Amino acid sequence: MSEIRSKRIRQADIASRAGVSVSTVSRVLTNEPGISDAIRQHIFKVASDLGYPLKQAAETMSAALALIASDSVTGGLSVFYEGIVEGLRAEAAERGMPFDIRLVREARTAPDNVREYLQTAGAEGLFLVGIDPSDELRIWLEDSGTPVVLVNGTDSRLRFDGVSPSNFFGAYAATRRLIDAGHRRILHLTGSHRQTILERIRGFEAAIASVEGGEGRLVPLTFRGSASAEAHAATIAALAEDRSFTAAFCMNDFVAVGVLEAIMETGLRVPDDFAIVGFDDLPCALMTNPRLATMRVDRVAIGREAIGVMTARFRNREAPARQVCHAVVPVPGGTLPPET
């Protein structure tokens, strides 16, 4: 007991002592439904015995609901959103915020549907995770005064609070890594209507414009199938048209994997003949040979930050909206020459 008390108690400690999963502990501490009273009370007792800070604020703090785009969570980006959900749940538990999560198709985020989701969950606040609200939903959210936080999202007119990676600056830094390695003709493989991805395009273009003789080319992707497979085909086609491009900045690591495979198939050497930088630092970046150079997004921190932003919004619903951007960190890899 004294060994555990000597350090900050984590949900994993409670799970180990209670003989349940960390997910079950998280759901109990955030007052999610679907857990039996016996298990709920057992976990609360273990948490109390270990000295975990069970806050009474859960009785008075407004509840919140997170809607997550189901195609993002069940598709290739699932690992990205798993980290965000982990951060949301952990911070909600520590702050005593009743919290629930629901997967939805973006087509099911019309105002009537969202109103029903909130009522069913007994929630006042809404997290839109990886979802950009339609004009119809945005108008309803503003008119109803619903507290909203866009998670991994940005409102270009700053009508809602948001928490995201620093997409513009991250893309600028990623492209500058290629420029600093001597590259002047750089591809950017990308494709999405989302504001977060449009900001990465802006960052890429700004970096290209920052160097004399720089030339960038956008290679659009549709994402109708495998992102890596489509990026592979698009890279082959781009180099067949113009072999003078010597580097690529990719909107995420799945895309970068496809680019790397295409470059190696053409017989070019990586990174001597062609350099690649990805984005997000997903597990696949560790599995390539050579290891992918990328940009790390702290997904758990983004989820935690979003809970803090919602807490502040509950306290002051008339405050101006704010956008919180987390810096992304360069991760070295063999697809880029060693950086000085």
CATH number for position 6: 1.10.260
Residue 182 domain-assigned (yes or no) = yes
- pLDDT digits over 170-220, tens only? 999 999 999 999 999 999 999 988 899 999 999 999 999 999 999 999 999
- pLDDT digits over 67-99, tens only? 998 765 545 557 889 899 999 999 998 888 999
Q: What is the pLDDT of residue 72?
A: 59
Residue 280 domain-assigned (yes or no) = yes
Q: What is the pLDDT of residue 2?
A: 45
Q: How far apart are the first and last CA of the chain?
A: 48
Residue 331 domain-assigned (yes or no) = no
- Average pLDDT in the 141-166 region? 95
Residue 159 domain-assigned (yes or no) = no
Structure tokens at 87: 């951060």
Residue 131 domain-assigned (yes or no) = no
Coarse DSSP helix, strand, coil percentages of the chain, rounded to the nearest 5 percent: 50, 15, 35
Residue 23 domain-assigned (yes or no) = yes
Residue 269 domain-assigned (yes or no) = yes
Residue 86 domain-assigned (yes or no) = no
- Average pLDDT in the 230-258 region? 96
Place of tokens 């003949």: 273
How many Cβ atoms sit within 10 Å of the Cβ of residue 156?
Answer: 10
- 27 or 24: which leads in pLDDT: 24
215: domain CATH number? 3.40.50.2300
- Residue ranges making up the domain that contains 223: 167-297
Give the count of domains, the chain: 2
| Percentage of the chain lying above the pLDDT 70 cut | 92
